[in-house]
Structure 1
Amino acid sequence: MYKRLLILVVSSLLLGCASQPAAPLRVGSAPLRDTNREQAVLDLLTADFAIQRGAYAEAAAKYTAVAELTGDVGLARRAIQAALYGQDVPAAIAAAGVWQRLRPDSTDAAQLLVAFELQNGNIEAARAHLRALLALDAFGSRQDYLNLVRLLNQNVPPQTLFGVLDGVLELRPTDADALYVYTLSALELEDLERAQRSSERLLRLQEDGAEAVLLRAQVLHQSDQWQAAAARLSQFLARHPRHVRGHLALARALLDGKEYAAALAAFEQVLRIEPANADARLAAALLAGQLGDRRVAREQLLKLAADGQRTDQAHFYLGKLAEDAGDTRQAIDWYAKVGGGEHRLDALLRRAELLAASGHLDAAVDLLAQAHQDEGERLRLLLARSDLLLQGGRAAQAERLINEALVEQPDNLELLFARSMVLDKLNRPADMERDLKRILELDPDNTNALNAWGYTLADRGERLDEAHRLIQRALDQSPDNPYILDSLGWVLYRKGDLTAAERYLRQALSLLPDAEVYAHLVQVLHALGRTDEARDVLAEALARTPHDARLRHVRDTLGMHDGQNK
């Protein structure tokens, strides 16, 4: 691991490549006698052949010797790379030392020596090289510090890295760039205590500096102090009202605090300053939609699409808005415009589901079957087709589709589970159990299989103790899963433990206000003799989904018709 990482990081500092033929021999300031020149040429040839044989230690030693003899820095760099391939840190130190002697003003050589000495455990030597590095006038830009951190971060533990950075701050206590990079490093390594201290120091140096304020706000934000971050940014923006990055940072902090209206206002301020800011416009649209202002959300998305920015995302969310408003035809049209990007597959699936719900099941299934499919999408689209067929009352056709896929992947857990759900619809419990048992043979803790098997037994009123054990095993794997909590409530109802059944069903309902959970809770409350309460829960459920068949069945079975729900 060391060799791979170090070579990747150091390669940007090395202009030579040990695997290439040697460059023409260059002579340093002192002329070489013929015998020395002949020896140098011989050593170079030996080094090149050693590289080809994988004898990296021999190659590094030869390149280093010729570099020192000829004053050729390129050969010193080549020696370092050969040493790294051979995982020989002392040899790399020797070659970097030659490089530094030849070019005392080289920041690259000094940085490598700091890293190599630390890697080799030579702390004092590393400190000496660090002091030499910081004494160079050419070293001191923010990019220089970032390069040093990148070099060290891959090869020494965080505490050692911060030891170096602490040394930098000791020698350059008022260097704003050093403090900035120190804070960034602390954030990246999640050392928030260090980030707090260094960002405070930076802010004292640059009290009204935009980068110091933004970095301090980022530290506060990552430290779960979003209110303090927002307050700091608001103070800054009062003095710099057109600072876009400041408004964006404020919006992110407010989002973290779930202050959605205030976050929307921050994004809208960005758009007043930069109307073409696509990220801010998309965020504003989504927030407006979340706050229930569909008109504003739609206007923002239409502008985004018209500007030719984020068009696929704009079309996808326009589709969702239309779908939420009950305009199925328009939703399908918008989803059809999503040609690529992260939402392409979701848009395709939504189109198919809406087509099927509109009575065009064959068109929906054909849409998914004929869609362009990446390798990773093939299974998901097949399962979606199967689900459409199942929901459309064509369980036998769904089974055939899955069976064809299982020929190629007989132990695919998702296919086996999908077929088990189809077999349940076909009222073939023995075949369903066969598939679920196979899943559990392959994956004994598969929560979907455990829950489905347990729930099916409970729903049939069969082997209730076994059903209870299966569902409990599933819940142990996923304790906050509302579907499993619903299953546990249902099996407890079947076993007659109504009080516990109510508790678990209410917990499931708080996580998932689903019609089936409502239906189960109504039946439990009715069985407990709390008829009025059961009627109220049913009315709440029917207000959400007035045409749900399960709720209507419970209402009819329990005789709970009233003026509202008839």
Structure 2
Amino acid sequence: MLLHPRLRPLACALLVLPLSLGAQAASATKSKAVRADEVREARTAELFYEVLLGELTASTGEPGTGYALMLQAARQSDDSALYRRAIEIALQARSGDAALNAAQAWRSAQPQSRDANRFVLQILIALNRVGDSAEPLRQELAQTPAPQRAAAIATIPRLYAHVSDKTLAADITAQALQGELQKPALGAIAWTTIGQMRLAAADQEGALAAARQALQLDPQADGPVLLALALSEDGMSAAEPLIAQHFQGASSPEARMAYARSLLGRQRYPEAAVQLKRLTAEQPSLPDPWLLLATLQVQDGRLDGAEASLRQFMALTDTATAPGQSHQASQTHQAGLTQAFLLQAHIAEKRQQYPQALAWLDRIPNPQELLGAQLRRASILVHQGQLAQARALIQALPSGSEQDQRMKLAAEVQLLREARQYQAAYELQGQLVALAPDDGDLLYDQAMLADKAGQRETMEQLLRALIAKHPDYHHAYNALGYSLADRGANLPEAKALVQKALEYAPGDPFITDSLGWVEFRLGNTTEALRLLEQAYRAQPDAEIAAHLGEVLWQLQHPELARKTWREGLELNPDNETLQKTLQRLGVQP
């Protein structure tokens, strides 16, 4: 063994001491037992020196030599800790091949070592040698104790998250899990894991098939329905029946909350409200569903209900707060309360109770929520006829990053929208779109503002461009179809567009409202009435009330029409569609 020249004197000095001690011991006694002890001492000392020299060499900038010494010591001693240290030295030197060599030597020496096999598996995956990982993966599952096997299976997608060939990784996972697929305790989690791997490999059909298999084995399992939710969010409508069927029955609060959040993220508010109402009824002690429900209730103009939900949320949040809670729990608590205070301020503002609104805003302790609080203050100024001061309040906020600038622009656009300064809002929205030209939501808002500003042709051009860029953006289909129907232009295309939107969001009451309006424009008043009544039952809304009332008026049911319009005015007295409908028909509800 060749040593670095600077280490040879140290090695010699270290070697002299135990050998001289061994000579003294030999001269003291000639027994076989002592001679055996001498041999063991010499071997232990030699091993110790190799380990020490390996560490010294690695620390003095020669990790290759240090690694070789450590691996030699590991092989001589069959010591797991030394194999592990050799791997660490190789990894610190960024030598994946050397780390793999040490791990394979360890596994060869100790075939039953789960740790050795794990290192082999993890290093192979880190080196992107996915094809070589099949056998170590099977061994890892076989060596995992039965009580821990479900958790081990569930971690496989994270293990392969960064490999380049995700299709091969999915195939290898499916092969490794063949023996688990029909086991009552593991089948559902095994199929779910395969589905997650298929989804990561962009194989939506394979992922959906796996989710179906998992739910057949365990209809109450969370994993497969969360997989189906991910597929639905990716635009796969075929996953919807699985989701709907699952949530018709009992489900864990976590899964139902995930479903509600998913629906909110896709702006399917009525369906989200259904899930949140069920969740608050079944699990009334959970705070978060009350807060989300209050958000939807404020959006729908149900201010009394929103206040009740917020009181429940704040009472539960105070109860859940405990001294010594973690920093993360404390942050979550503060974020929830901040959102509640903002909603309370919004409710007071809606009721024109401006001092109360400001008092709620003053309770917000979190400086990171400055934008939200200032936006509400600015909104109050708008309602008091002080638009310029409101805009100045937002413009004065710090903008240290592009994200800050985007948030400020979006806040100012919202103020202009509230003040019904639609042309100015449209122009400012153009600046926002320029910062993120691929953001579908920003493009959609730009189109809606163009419509409000009286630029209907521009709106339709923007919506068609949005559909071309994001073919699964169902709100664009709905808005374009409704726009065509509202001005009686190209009604067959309008109907096809709205029906396309319904394919992406089946049962959505606002899209159903659009389809009812298309049928009305086509002269199919009976079908229009059916659709609009269905939409209004699912989501009492001022705009739907405007359409339903007009159809009832056309069908010579004036009292029912007036009743519907009155309900719409109670929901939102400022709704432009409803106000224009009443003015056009010359009706006093």
Following the alignment from structure 1 to structure 2, what is the Cα–Cα distance between the partners of residues 345 and 482? 32
Following the alignment from structure 1 to structure 2, what is the Cα–Cα distance between the partners of residues 517 and 550? 9
Measure how far apart 1:112 and its partner are.
Answer: 0.7
In structure 2, the partner of 1:454 is 481
Report if the CA contact (8 A) 1:420-1:436 is conserved. Answer: yes
Q: Return 5+ residue gaps in structure 2 as ranges.
A: 1-6, 16-38, 122-132, 161-171, 194-210, 221-245, 253-274, 298-303
In structure 1, the partner of 2:256 is none
Report if the CA contact (8 A) 1:315-1:334 is conserved. Answer: no
Report if the CA contact (8 A) 1:80-1:96 is conserved. Answer: no
Report if the CA contact (8 A) 1:349-1:384 is conserved. Answer: yes
Match of 1:112 among 115, 129, 135: 115
Following the alignment from structure 2 to structure 1, what is the Cα–Cα distance between the partners of residues 472 and 420? 31
Residues 36-84 of structure 1 deviation map (CA, whole Å, 9 limit, x = unaligned): 999999999999999978xxxx997764323233677654213344499
In structure 1, the partner of 2:83 is 76
In structure 2, the partner of 1:16 is none
Q: Secondary structure at the match of 1:338?
A: coil
Q: Is residue 366 of structure 2 the alignment partner of residue 365 of structure 1?
A: no
Measure how far apart 1:386 and its partner are.
Answer: 1.9
Match of 1:321 among 322, 344, 361: 344
Percent sequence identity over aligned pairs: 28
In structure 2, the partner of 1:64 is 71
Measure how far apart 1:33 and its partner are.
Answer: 12
Q: Is residue 532 of structure 2 the alignment partner of residue 525 of structure 1?
A: no
Q: Secondary structure at the match of 2:135?
A: coil
Residues 108-127 of structure 1 deviation map (CA, whole Å, 9 limit, x = unaligned): x9441464699673899889
Residues 230-255 of structure 1 deviation map (CA, whole Å, 9 limit, x = unaligned): xxxxxxxxxxxxxxxxxxxxxxxxx9
Following the alignment from structure 2 to structure 1, what is the Cα–Cα distance between the partners of residues 569 and 97? 72
Following the alignment from structure 1 to structure 2, what is the Cα–Cα distance between the partners of residues 302 and 44? 55
Report if the CA contact (8 A) 1:458-1:494 is conserved. Answer: yes
Measure how far apart 1:495 and its partner are.
Answer: 1.5
Bigger shift: residues 152-161 or 341-350: 152-161
- Alignment of structure 1 residues 218-233 onto 2, 5 Å: none
Residues 305-330 of structure 1 deviation map (CA, whole Å, 9 limit, x = unaligned): 99996455335424433543533332
Q: 1:128 to 1:425 in 2, by over 3 A?
A: closer
Q: 1:376 to 1:80 in 2, by over 3 A?
A: same
In structure 2, the partner of 1:356 is 382
Measure how far apart 1:89 and its partner are.
Answer: 6.0
Instruction: Provide TM-score, normalisation by structure 1.
Output: 0.57
Following the alignment from structure 2 to structure 1, what is the Cα–Cα distance between the partners of residues 454 and 276? 48
Following the alignment from structure 2 to structure 1, what is the Cα–Cα distance between the partners of residues 517 and 153? 57
Report if the CA contact (8 A) 1:406-1:412 is conserved. Answer: yes
- Alignment of structure 1 residues 72-221 onto 2, 5 Å: 75-81=82-88, 82=90, 85-86=96-97, 91-95=102-106, 110-113=113-116, 115=118, 121=135, 154=159
Q: Secondary structure at the match of 1:292?
A: helix
Q: 1:61 to 1:336 in 2, by over 3 A?
A: same
Residues 249-268 of structure 1 deviation map (CA, whole Å, 9 limit, x = unaligned): xxxxxx9994757855x68x
Measure how far apart 1:367 and its partner are.
Answer: 3.0
Following the alignment from structure 2 to structure 1, what is the Cα–Cα distance between the partners of residues 434 and 305? 45
Report if the CA contact (8 A) 2:515-2:531 is conserved. Answer: yes
Q: Is residue 468 of structure 2 the alignment partner of residue 441 of structure 1?
A: yes
Report if the CA contact (8 A) 1:63-1:79 is conserved. Answer: yes
Following the alignment from structure 1 to structure 2, what is the Cα–Cα distance between the partners of residues 422 and 314? 32
Q: 1:422 to 1:541 in 2, by over 3 A?
A: closer
Report if the CA contact (8 A) 2:519-2:525 is conserved. Answer: yes
Report if the CA contact (8 A) 2:381-2:389 is conserved. Answer: yes
Measure how far apart 1:340 and its partner are.
Answer: 3.4
Following the alignment from structure 1 to structure 2, what is the Cα–Cα distance between the partners of residues 33 and 322? 75
**Count of residue pairs brought into register by the alignment:** 443
Q: 1:513 to 1:382 in 2, by over 3 A?
A: farther
Following the alignment from structure 1 to structure 2, what is the Cα–Cα distance between the partners of residues 503 and 305? 49
In structure 2, the partner of 1:487 is 514
Measure how far apart 1:523 and its partner are.
Answer: 0.7
Report if the CA contact (8 A) 1:352-1:368 is conserved. Answer: yes
Instruction: Provide TM-score, normalisation by structure 2.
Output: 0.55
Measure how far apart 1:34 and its partner are.
Answer: 12
What amino acid is aligned across from residue 308 of structure 2 in structure 1? G
Residues 375-409 of structure 1 deviation map (CA, whole Å, 9 limit, x = unaligned): 44543442342233134232332233234445555
Q: Is residue 540 of structure 2 the alignment partner of residue 513 of structure 1?
A: yes
In structure 2, the partner of 1:216 is none
Following the alignment from structure 2 to structure 1, what is the Cα–Cα distance between the partners of residues 363 and 312? 21
Following the alignment from structure 1 to structure 2, what is the Cα–Cα distance between the partners of residues 222 and 411? 34
Match of 1:476 among 503, 509, 527: 503
Following the alignment from structure 1 to structure 2, what is the Cα–Cα distance between the partners of residues 398 and 555? 27
Bigger shift: residues 323-332 or 58-67: 58-67
Measure how far apart 1:509 and its partner are.
Answer: 2.3
In structure 2, the partner of 1:330 is 356
What amino acid is aligned across from residue 64 of structure 1 in structure 2? L
Q: Secondary structure at the match of 1:31?
A: helix
Following the alignment from structure 1 to structure 2, what is the Cα–Cα distance between the partners of residues 127 and 557? 71
